[in-house]
Amino acid sequence: METNNAGAWERVPANCVDFVAEYMTGERYRRDCEVVGNLSLAFARSVRLVGDGRDAWVFDIDETLLSNVPYYEDIGFG
């Protein structure tokens, strides 16, 4: 978003729709997801498990594990 669009809004401003569509369907979004995924994997590998059978991972089900791209495609990225 651009600074002139900052503020309270419930939908992507019309003059930002093309940018959002290009970002989410393009190479930059994929690369950003890969970076976040690699950082998450590095963190997960660094955690020492106790090994008592009680260790667990809890995931917040959002863009971290599920893609919002199909939703944004359905609504025209706006």
Q: Which two tokens stand for residue 38?
A: 């690699």
**Could you say which residues of the chain have pLDDT below 70?**
1-5, 63-65
User: For position 37, what pLDDT does the model report?
Assistant: 86
pLDDT score recorded for residue 43: 92
Q: Which two tokens stand for residue 13?
A: 């401003």
Nearest Cα neighbor of 6 from 21, 16, 20 is 16
Distance between CA 64 and CA 36 in Å, rounded?
9
pLDDT, residue 59, reads 77
d(CA 36, CA 16): 24
